[in-house]
Amino acid sequence: MDSRAAAAEAMRSAIEYWSQFVARSISQRLDTEKFENYIRLVHDQHPLPPALVADFFLRPQPSNDNSLDPRIPPYLQVLTRLGYVDAPSILKALYKYSSLHAYAQQPNANEGKDNEKGSQKSDDKEKDEKKQKITRWKSSYWAEEVLFYGITKSVVEGKAIRDSKTALEMTRIISKLMVLFTTAFAADMIEQLHTAQVRDEMESSRAALVALLLRMCENDILVGAMSKQIAKDVRKEMSAGLASFVPTLQLVPQITDKLEQFRTEILASSDPADKKKQATNAAMDELLDSAVGLDNFVVADIPVSNTRAGLYIYLNAALIARPLLDDHALFSYMSNKYQGDIQSSAIDLILASFDILANAVFRNEGQKDAHLLRSFLINKVPILLYQLLPPGFPGTSAEFCITEALSHVDTSLFPTASLMFDESRNNNPYTESIREEFCAACVLHGLVQREHVERILGEISLSYEPSLQKHSKDKLVQDCLSDTEKIQGLVRELDKMDGNVGAVCQALVESLDVILLFEKLPNILEPLCQLLDNWRYEDDQEEYQPVYEEFGAVLLLVLAFTYRYNLNAVEIGIASPDSWVAKIIGRGHIGRQCNELTQRENDHLNGWIHGLFDTEAGGLGDELMSSCPPQEFYLVVAPLFQSIVVAYTHGYLNDESLKGGIEYLVDTFLLPSLVPAIRFLADYLWIDQKEQKSIIKILQLILLPSSISGEASTMLSSVKNLIAKPLEHALRTYQRRDPNNQDIEPLLRTLKDSIPLSRRTGGTDLNELESWTTTPPTGFSSAIKLTIQGLVHWSIHPAINSMPTSYTHRQVLAALKIMGPKRVLHVILEEIRQHTEAGSANIVYDVAISLICAPDAAKDAPAVVDANGNMLPPVQRQRSLRDLLKVEAEGCRKLQKKDPALAEIVVRLHRRVEAQMIIPQPPGMLQTAEMSLNLDGDTAALGDAMAAAASGVQGDNMSVDNLTLDVSMGGVPSDLGLGSANDGGSLDPSGDAAMFEGFDTQDMDNFDWDDIGNSF
């Protein structure tokens, strides 16, 4: 008993001595050097455990309970270095005297009323009274912030957590601190207890606690200790604390993801298996993953380079089939890709334009593609450059970009003027003189001064002069209306390479003719389709054959677009199912039996059969055509030829009658009807029946007529261009079944020249497809891998004047159809993994993003509205690579459990792709252009515009000098009124986003801990 009493007395004496020492140290403002000398003596004479020492220094003093004295943190640093206090003891004292207790224990008004109705338990009263005896700080937040960061530094340095016991002690008190913060913040949300200043201080303190918590979760000793059986209760407390604390940080996904992962994986995995609990947790995790998994998934940022392959892939995809060069989409793509770096955008655009032409020549596709690609380079690119870098644009000049780009163009393929006269070279007609022609076009648009062309080319230019006058769309329209022969001259100018084609095409839009390189498809075809749908006979109509001739000529132009690009009615802008043009495109080539026709169609069919083949009926007369409008005639063309084939096969028509009837059909007024007719015959030829020989006979009479006028011969060549591909396939298939048939080869020869012009759909031929599908070791997958590897290698070594790697976007389109987008995506992801491991992540990501974001006519089809402005249901299409990537990214949590590296690749790629495809606000990238490309206005006002042009009246903004590129969203901001992505959309009720702005777990790895003076 005496020893115990002595010990108690010694303890009281030590406590009193320490209390006096702390009070005097603070009052006398001892510096740390003197403090260290004195504290050694005090501790030697009156040793106390770390918890009591820390308590003395961190408790409110009798003379000050407002806030901790600034001298205390340096004193604690000395005490820690001497081993008199440690991290757990400091944390316990901070928790004990924290100001947060006052707010956390604030009674609720409703609870007070309830307590009045019932008696409270005596033990609860005693506990409350005991707690009230503890004097706490009125404002401890700044001290907590400083000390939390100091302990964090000590954890990073490996000083704070040296063994499992310390780790568990710290974990237990940190769990209590998390609950305390959660309770205090919840009370503030309900009662609004804090002022703005106090709330900011609380948030700063909480941010420091989060930093400490993150570093503790990464500590190997702590993680090992938490997995032990003795840590079961600590794990439970920590898990409960995190479960309540993490949701308060929901505006900081990088932090919450890491903490949640520690709770659900590290802590949960250490507990014994409970099947029922595991099933419940799995269901809950799946629900949470599907709801917030992707947004909260943390991946390290990898910088992505803007490689030469990026725009090369984009332009190749945009021009491989139907030209898909929407100016706004292209500028948006470049704005996102280059982040507003207009100089790099312009240079890479020029280089990519030369690269795709070089690639076409290298792949021996010059005959098919060179004309379009040359026109794009010479006629389109200068217009795009004018909008990027108009004259007077501050900073980079267009001339500098052009000079820089041409210095990287391969002179072996695009020779200078002097090299073209080198007899030892084999000059290519598709690439020679293109440098000068491009520069001349740039001079025309004011991008380059004429006297600087020689300096840009690096030698004296040949005497190539661009057009003396830049075309104006409005003046061309007026000229066409006053002189119809001018239109024919303009059409011939489309083949020129002088930079003026853009204005020519715009003028031809208003003259019902255009090319897709400069105008959108609906702008071209909607007026024509409206004209055909509304075609009516005049009341005093006397001759009907000219009406058929005019109708057929316009329809032939529409069919030229639909057949060449394999379009349906919706894709050309026809929304009404009652449209005659839609019916002709959709079923004009489909044969039908008589019982499938309406009575009116049967009457028309009977009339045309008699008119064509019944010589006694007097042939084709006005009576027949007056009773059958041309729209209705084109719908019975396929049934008509079906009847002709059957009648000739069964002897109802002899050779002479058949020849006479076909001669009518190859006349100009009926010749366009041969497009659906031959399409029907080609389809009919696939069917193995006795009618096949009759079909061959009819095709001979159509394609190899014994006599035909010059005008009809020209139109027949146009018809051949439209039907050459499907007819060739049908004939060759039939030839394999009947190899001795001598009538097929002449038909194939007459189609030979038309086949390259017949289709531009991005489809591949059999030889190309066979080479890809037989690529060792795995066929098409290996071919895609080799293509990606080639693009990456070329981008890693972009030597000056280097030839582009061989690439055709047809391969990707074919792979999507044959392999499916999911398999293609996984090939891309695997290549990203391999090149990332090889150190080329910045390159391969750019290639992958470009492949996924490449334009595609099918997936980029705009939404269609009907005549009343109602949105029509979208056409069901195959999901794109972007769609599948989004699906994969949304399942990132499940994927992470199987393959963490792949999960990171998927999420990182998905975020990059989505950022690349954002449509930014136009003014940031686009500049006012001298020649507008926006003809998206009211096409119904075509007649008014032409009338205004004819009368010399200037419409609003019709002058070329006043034209602007209007790509706005009709006054609707791109953020839809929710604010920008960077300001959080002003939807942050707690201010957490601002509190933790720029603070994530990745940044902590690079944190300069030397900036923190104290560590504990």
Phi then psi for residue 231, to 5 deg, are -95, 15
pLDDT value at position 14? 85
pLDDT grade for 131, boundaries at 50, 70 and 90: very low
- Alpha-carbon distance values, 490 to 478, 484, 698, 747 (Å): 13, 10, 37, 34
- Taking only the tens place, the pLDDT of each residue in 259-271 is 877 887 778 776 6
DSSP, res 380 = I
Does residue 2 have a pLDDT over 80? Answer: no
- Taking only the tens place, the pLDDT of each residue in 446-477 is 888 887 787 777 655 554 554 546 666 676 66
| Range with top average pLDDT, 867-881, 903-917, 961-975 | 903-917
Q: Kindly state whether residue 509 falls inside one of the protein's structural domains.
A: no
Q: Kindly state whether residue 469 falls inside one of the protein's structural domains.
A: no
Task: Map residue 871 onto helix, strand or coil.
Answer: strand
Mean pLDDT of 617-630: 82
Q: Kindly state whether residue 831 falls inside one of the protein's structural domains.
A: yes
**Contact at 8 Å (CB) between 662 and 630?**
no
- Taking only the tens place, the pLDDT of each residue in 546-572 is 888 888 888 988 898 888 888 888 888
Exposure class string for 562-576: b at 16+ Cβ within 10 A, else e: bbbbbbebebbbbbe
Residue where a domain terminates, one of 726, 758, 790: 758
pLDDT value at position 105? 62
Same domain, 731 and 803: no
**Contact at 8 Å (CB) between 138 and 65?**
yes
Q: Kindly state whether residue 731 falls inside one of the protein's structural domains.
A: yes
Same domain, 810 and 862: yes
Q: Kindly state whether residue 771 falls inside one of the protein's structural domains.
A: yes
- Tokens 């004429």 identify what position? 450
DSSP, res 64 = B
**Contact at 8 Å (CB) between 249 and 210?**
yes
Same domain, 714 and 645: yes
- Is 649 buried (19+), middle (13-18) or exposed (0-12) by CB count in 10 A? middle
**Contact at 8 Å (CB) between 631 and 580?**
yes
- Is 601 buried (19+), middle (13-18) or exposed (0-12) by CB count in 10 A? middle
pLDDT value at position 584? 93
**Contact at 8 Å (CB) between 406 and 954?**
no
- Alpha-carbon distance values, 544 to 524, 636, 656 (Å): 27, 18, 27
Same domain, 679 and 696: yes
- Is 656 buried (19+), middle (13-18) or exposed (0-12) by CB count in 10 A? exposed
Residue where a domain terminates, one of 710, 735, 758: 758
Q: Which of 236, 259, 237 is nearest to 246 (CA)?
A: 259
pLDDT grade for 301, boundaries at 50, 70 and 90: confident
Does residue 963 have a pLDDT over 50? Answer: no
> For every residue of 773-819, which 3-state class applies, written as one string?
HCCCCCCHHHHHHHHHHHHHHHHHCCCCCCCCCCCCHHHHHHHHHHC
Does residue 183 have a pLDDT over 70? Answer: yes
pLDDT grade for 256, boundaries at 50, 70 and 90: confident
> How many domains is the chain built from?
2
Does residue 351 have a pLDDT over 60? Answer: yes
Q: Kindly state whether residue 628 falls inside one of the protein's structural domains.
A: yes
Same domain, 736 and 881: no
Q: Kindly state whether residue 290 falls inside one of the protein's structural domains.
A: no
- Is 982 buried (19+), middle (13-18) or exposed (0-12) by CB count in 10 A? exposed
Q: Which residue has the higher pLDDT, 664 or 131?
A: 664
Does residue 117 have a pLDDT over 50? Answer: no
pLDDT value at position 111? 42
**Contact at 8 Å (CB) between 920 and 336?**
yes
Does residue 950 have a pLDDT over 50? Answer: no
> Roughly what angle, to the nearest 10 degrees, separates helices 900-916 and 821-837?
110
Same domain, 743 and 826: no
Same domain, 704 and 601: yes
Q: Which of 324, 427, 187, 240 is nearest to 761 (CA)?
A: 324
**Contact at 8 Å (CB) between 154 and 170?**
no
pTM strictly above 0.75: no
Rounded CA-CA distance 964/922 in Å is 12
Please report, rounded to a whole number, the percentage of residues in the chain having pLDDT higher than 90.
Answer: 33
Mean pLDDT is lowest, of 48-52, 168-172, 418-422, 801-805, for: 418-422
- Taking only the tens place, the pLDDT of each residue in 687-697 is 877 889 999 99
- Tokens 């060759």 identify what position? 732
What DSSP string describes 399-427? HHHHHHHHTTS-TTTS--TTGGG-TTS--
Rounded CA-CA distance 710/712 in Å is 5
pLDDT value at position 291? 52
pLDDT value at position 470? 66
Same domain, 863 and 838: yes
Token digits for 431?
Answer: 């690439």
Q: Which residue has the higher pLDDT, 275 or 232?
A: 232
Mean pLDDT of 78-96: 92
Token digits for 886?
Answer: 């989004």
Residues near 813 by Cβ (< 8 Å), separated by ≥ 6?
A: 320, 321, 762, 763, 764, 856
pLDDT value at position 125? 45
Determine the structural domain holding residue 741 and report its residue range.
584-758
Same domain, 613 and 744: yes
Residue where a domain terminates, one of 727, 758, 789: 758
Same domain, 725 and 771: no
Same domain, 860 and 888: yes
Same domain, 844 and 891: yes
What DSSP string describes 523-538? HHHHHHHHHHHT----
Q: Which of 446, 334, 346 is nearest to 390 (CA)?
A: 446
DSSP, res 250 = T
Q: Kindly state whether residue 889 falls inside one of the protein's structural domains.
A: yes
